[in-house]
Structure 1
Amino acid sequence: MKPKIDKFVLAIICIVILAYFFPFWGSQNSPVPLNLIGSIGVSLIFFFYGLKLSPEKIKSGLKNWKLHLLVQASSFVLFPLIVIAIYPFISSESNLTIWLGFMFLAALPSTVSSSVVMVSIAKGNIPAAIFNASISGLIGIVITPLWMSLFLKQASNDFDLGSIYLKLITEILLPVILGIALQRYFGDFARKHLRLLTLFDKSIILLIIYKSFAQSFEENVFNSVNMVDLLLILTAVIILFSVVYFIIGKFATKLGFDLEDRITAQFCGTKKSLVHGTVFSKILFKNTASVGVILLPLMLFHFIQIFIISIIASKLERQAVISEV
């Protein structure tokens, strides 16, 4: 079974190309209010997320606390500490921008849908994957801005953590809470139209990516990123993913996890959410011209995590089938 190229990854590539040739529609002078559309879209994404989030599954998932602790520690502690270890070696302004992109990537929560899908293919612990992917997004609302505040305050005088949290609460947390509150009325509707809602989610993410890259292209921000830098960023992304995957595997073995739990720990603990990344970038870097460069490591990581994990998941699936025969 050969791993297929994710259609969403192809859509991202097309959107970036579109932003390169037609940056005006995403610029500050655009007659189309993309910021407003994006803000409304983001709120709807998390409202529907609340409709799909099952409180019962979260309650039942709390029992396997060692697995949950390992996944969340990997997402919010291990990733950032690895990237911070590189900080003393940053020597130029352009390198600092790219490093901020890696730090932003490292501080993000785990992804939801692809984590659960891949764990399911590999025959891992699916309830634990759903729990960790869901809870990670909520933790990230608090933790991601805190990590970034340590470095963005040094790079920007107008960085205001209070206003960022206010925006996160109004655009993300309140819609999630509203979705959970209305779940008994519209939960079945959300689950019935899951594919349409996923398409809506991806459309809003593509819009935010277009806006970010169009602004960067309009202001010639990518002049500092040549092909050599791009290959170095890609290599660093692969190394970061591989190191975290290996460390989680070692910890899972020491904690005595069975195969199902180890699969879930490694699959969920190495993932980073492009959805949260694009949404958070819209709030954290709203006055930053180089937001496209900052998002670059995240988008490359998104492709790499899907590509590598799909290969591993397919291999584990074949092994599971053989063992059942």
Structure 2
Amino acid sequence: MLCAVALALLWPAIGTSDGPLHLGLVTNLGVSLVFFLHGAALSRQSLKAGVSNWRLHAFVQSTTYLVFPLIGIVLVLAIRGALPPDLVLGVFYLCALPSTISSSVAMTSLGKGNVPGAIFNASLSNIVGMAATPLLIGIMVSTGGAHLPLGKAVLDIALQLLLPFVLGQLLRPWLADWLARNKPVISKLDRGVVVLIVYSSFCDSTAAGLWHNYAWWMLAVVFVLVGILLAVVLLGTTWISRSLGFSLPDEVAAVFCGSKKSLATGIPMAKLLFAGHPGLGLIVLPVMFYHQLQLLVCSVLARRYAERAA
């Protein structure tokens, strides 16, 4: 991904949405394909296994769509005027995103946590996020005096993300075995589409001259900011889950599902929500930073949880 950003900064013309590679169309098709495969890969049996733990579900979903956005509002009020508007919006966009599925489940498994509960909550979070994230962003944008065509954004998300997801789920009985045999290929395709969207977004921003207007220290500030955000959420989810008397497996699932934000969903959704926006590269930057940090920090945390459970 860093290579994609570097290429976009050095040679942006080739990768713009309407450039010679036609990445606008390619990434749109890629996003729909990825969400179709996500739907086909989601096991209903796994969801059923984790459905009964309502306290865990309420905790994770409220953390994702209530606590995180409230923290985002505080951050926006604190940094508004000090950072470019697109970066400020990107910080709130990060806070409005759903949890990530793959790494939440993987970290929960590594930490000897409640894996069925993690699968259920991470999956539910992504489904809810197709409506909740645009709504939260629409509210935030409108309070700043701007306008986001929310109806069109939700329709685009429904057509490009939700519809392929549902079709994939319907066709799962015929595709499940093939998907199980080709997990590495599916994973590479998923990451490849995300990298292409990041590359195209940064190409568009560079071609529009966006990066010439801002000092690089601002990026360092955003990196530190999302690091503080991750630390606050990890500490908060850990403390609250223990205060609520969660078992250790439930605590592991609550911490990892409640603290994570999905790059795989966030980048494609940003492409739809902020379609044609030259500052898309800035908007997704906090998500990219947070993604890298959460993987590093949570992998260490998962090993510590595993040691406690041993």
**2:226 aligned to which of 215, 231, 237:** 237
Residues 66-109 of structure 1, C-alpha deviation per residue, up to 9 Å, x if partnerless? Answer: 11111111111111101102333445384322110010000000
Distance across 2 between alignment mates of 1:296 and 1:305? 14
**2:259 aligned to which of 242, 252, 270:** 270
Residues 112-169 of structure 1, C-alpha deviation per residue, up to 9 Å, x if partnerless? Answer: 1111111111111111111111111101001000000012345686621111111111
SS at match of 1:85: helix
**CA-CA distance at 1:224 after TM superposition:** 4.0
TM-score (norm 2): 0.95
**1:292 aligned to which of 281, 290, 298:** 281
Most deviating of 105-114 and 17-26 = 17-26
Structure 1: runs of 5 or more not aligned: 1-11
- 2:3 equivalent in structure 1: 14
- 2:271 equivalent in structure 1: 282
Most deviating of 253-262 and 155-164 = 155-164
Structure 2: runs of 5 or more not aligned: none
**Alignment RMSD:** 1.7
Give the AA of the match of 1:186: L
**CA-CA distance at 1:17 after TM superposition:** 0.6
Distance across 2 between alignment mates of 1:261 and 1:206? 33
**CA-CA distance at 1:201 after TM superposition:** 0.6
Most deviating of 306-315 and 55-64 = 55-64
- 1:3 equivalent in structure 2: none
Asked whether the equivalents of residues 94 and 224 of structure 1 are also in contact (C-alpha less than 8 Å), the reply is: no
Give the AA of the match of 2:163: L
> In structure 2, do the counterparts of structure 1 residues 180 and 128 end up closer, same or farther at CA, with 3 Å as the change threshold?
same
User: 1:248-263 maps to which residues of 2 (within 5 A)?
Assistant: 248-263=237-252
Once the two structures are aligned, what percentage of the paired residues are identical? Answer: 36
Distance across 1 between alignment mates of 2:161 and 2:103? 20
Give the AA of the match of 1:177: V
- 1:212 equivalent in structure 2: 201
Does 2:131 match 1:131?
no
Most deviating of 173-182 and 138-147 = 173-182
**2:212 aligned to which of 205, 212, 223:** 223
Does 2:109 match 1:109?
no
User: 1:42-81 maps to which residues of 2 (within 5 A)?
Assistant: 42-81=31-70
Asked whether the equivalents of residues 80 and 88 of structure 2 are also in contact (C-alpha less than 8 Å), the reply is: no
SS at match of 1:86: helix
Give the AA of the match of 2:62: A
**1:175 aligned to which of 161, 164, 172:** 164
Does 2:288 match 1:302?
no
SS at match of 1:92: coil
**CA-CA distance at 1:250 after TM superposition:** 1.9
Asked whether the equivalents of residues 202 and 281 of structure 2 are also in contact (C-alpha less than 8 Å), the reply is: yes
Does 2:2 match 1:36?
no
Asked whether the equivalents of residues 90 and 96 of structure 1 are also in contact (C-alpha less than 8 Å), the reply is: no
Give the AA of the match of 1:104: Y
TM-score (norm 1): 0.91
Distance across 2 between alignment mates of 1:30 and 1:156? 32
* Aligned residue-pair number: 310
Distance across 2 between alignment mates of 1:167 and 1:57? 29
Distance across 1 between alignment mates of 2:213 and 2:271? 22
